[in-house]
């Protein structure tokens, strides 16, 4: 089942998500990217109802882009996280979105940051955070091995520890994960951790 987690390192933040699209007992797809590159220096890892996730993350992305066009300056990660919380909180008592969000970003001056926003719109700035069934394992792994001054290599090593733990201890473990990183050079996909590939469909 869904696993999204992230952490802040020395001069970067990273977000990891599983890439399974599951409905009931069926896996429809195992290369679904659940981490959106929100703008040049922000990542948005989301879990929850897949329709809500797609709609809501895109809505946030477009509004953050609109702000940048109107004002000529991008939103900081803190501002974008607070905007996201505001939208979720307004929706909460009308027509709630069931999406949990980890927002990672890099700002000049403040450096890397990670924000935890759950579907009821509790916002909190964290060093490490996780959602879903995978959180039981990834949070424990990160509590044990995390340091504030980790390099990218050390952090990815920790991420791999988390993924191994999820794969080996979680009954409903997803096979594939995607790792994305944001630092001073921008937000980008870092790597995939795939244990199965989608089989290609033979053409007629």
Partner 1 sequence: MSIFEYNGSALVAMVGKNCFAIASDRRLGVQLQTVATDFQRIFKIHDKLFVGLSGLATDAQTLYQRLVFRHKLYQLREERDMKPETFASLVSAILYEKRFGPYFCQPVIAGLGDEDKPFICTMDSIGAKELAKDFVVAGTASESLYGACESMFKPDMEPEELFETISQALLSSVDRDCLSGWGGHVYVVTPTEVTERILKGRMD
- Contact positions toward partner 1, by CB under 8 A? 85, 89, 92-93, 116, 118, 120-124, 126, 129, 135-136, 139
Between 27 and 120, name the residue whose CB sits nearer to partner 1: 120
Q: How far is the CB of 71 from partner 1 (least distance, A)?
A: 22
Q: How far is the CB of 90 from partner 1 (least distance, A)?
A: 9
Between 160 and 165, name the residue whose CB sits nearer to partner 1: 165
111: left (phi over 0), alpha (psi -120 to 50) or beta: left
- The Cα 157–Cα 145 span in angstroms is 10
- Residue found under tokens 């790792």: 179
- The Cα 130–Cα 7 span in angstroms is 9
- The Cα 57–Cα 60 span in angstroms is 5
Q: How far is the CB of 149 from partner 1 (least distance, A)?
A: 19
Q: How far is the CB of 120 from partner 1 (least distance, A)?
A: 5
- The Cα 22–Cα 37 span in angstroms is 22
Burial of 198 (0-12, 13-18, 19+ CB in 10 A): exposed
Q: How far is the CB of 118 from partner 1 (least distance, A)?
A: 7
Smallest Cα–Cα separation from 116: which of 165, 188, 44? 44
């Amino acid at each position: 089942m869904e696993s999204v987690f992230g952490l802040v390192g020395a001069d970067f933040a990273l977000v990891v998500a599983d890439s399974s699209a599951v409905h009931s007992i069926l896996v429809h797809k195992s290369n679904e990217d659940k981490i959106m590159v929100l703008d040049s220096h922000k990542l948005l890892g989301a879990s929850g109802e897949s329709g809500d996730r797609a709609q809501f993350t895109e809505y946030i992305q477009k509004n953050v882009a609109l702000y940048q066009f109107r004002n000529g300056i991008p939103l900081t990660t803190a501002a974008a996280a607070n905007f996201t919380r505001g939208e979720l909180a307004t929706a909460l008592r009308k027509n709630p979105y069931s999406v949990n969000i980890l927002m990672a970003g890099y700002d000049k001056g403040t450096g890397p940051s990670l924000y935890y926003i759950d579907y009821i719109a509790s916002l909190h700035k964290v060093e490490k955070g996780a959602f879903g069934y995978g959180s039981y394992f990834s949070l424990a792994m990160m509590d044990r091995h995390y340091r504030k001054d980790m390099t990218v290599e050390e952090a990815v090593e920790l991420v791999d520890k988390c993924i191994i733990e999820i794969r080996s201890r979680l009954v409903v473990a997803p096979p594939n994960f995607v790792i994305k990183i944001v630092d001073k050079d921008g937000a980008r996909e870092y790597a995939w951790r795939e244990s199965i590939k989608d089989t290609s469909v033979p053409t007629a």
